[in-house]
Amino acid sequence: MIIGNSKGFTLVEVMISFLLLAMCSMAILPAFLVVYNERLTLKQEEKVLHHLQELIQLYLADQPPIELDSWVKKEEFTDPATNVYLVCLSFVGENKRDYKRCLHAKR
């Protein structure tokens, strides 16, 4: 039996290419997961900043504050001498880091 110039790949060549593809994927996947968690944290931070702005506007309009999400902790301070109101919101991001954002307003 004479085997001529067969066209196609052998099983070994296909297995080696799958192995190389799997190794490249394993190297890139953790980077994608980090980027994904950072994007989720940025969305959380954007929501917190929106809440801060809304809390300040409600304070200036003498309205009751809004209800915050359970993952956000609120701290409020008022300086009676200068009548400056400071509100801080802290949270733990999806990337497991602590964040604290503050805004102040004066009536």
* pLDDT greater than 70 at residue 31: yes
Residue 10 pLDDT class (50, 70, 90 cuts): confident
Q: Is residue 92 part of a domain?
A: yes
Residue 98 CB partners (closer than 8 Å, separation 6+): 90, 91, 92
Q: Is residue 96 part of a domain?
A: yes
Nearest to 85 by CA among 48, 54, 51, 60: 60
Residue 4 pLDDT class (50, 70, 90 cuts): low
Q: Is residue 5 part of a domain?
A: no
Looking at this protein, which amino acid is placed at residue 104?
H
CB distance 91 to 73 below 8 Å: yes
Q: Is residue 87 part of a domain?
A: yes
- Give me the pLDDT at residue 60, please: 92
Q: Is residue 2 part of a domain?
A: no
- Give me the pLDDT at residue 8, please: 79
Domain that holds residue 84: 11-106
- Give me the pLDDT at residue 3, please: 65
Mean pLDDT value across the chain: 91
pTM (whole model) above 0.95:
no
Burial class (CB in 10 A: 0-12, 13-18, 19+), 24: exposed
Count: domains in the chain = 1
pLDDT tens for each residue of 39-55: 999 999 999 999 999 99
Q: Is residue 89 part of a domain?
A: yes
Residue with the bigger pLDDT between 9 and 100: it is 100
* pLDDT average, residue stretch 89-104: 96
Q: Is residue 4 part of a domain?
A: no
Q: Is residue 54 part of a domain?
A: yes
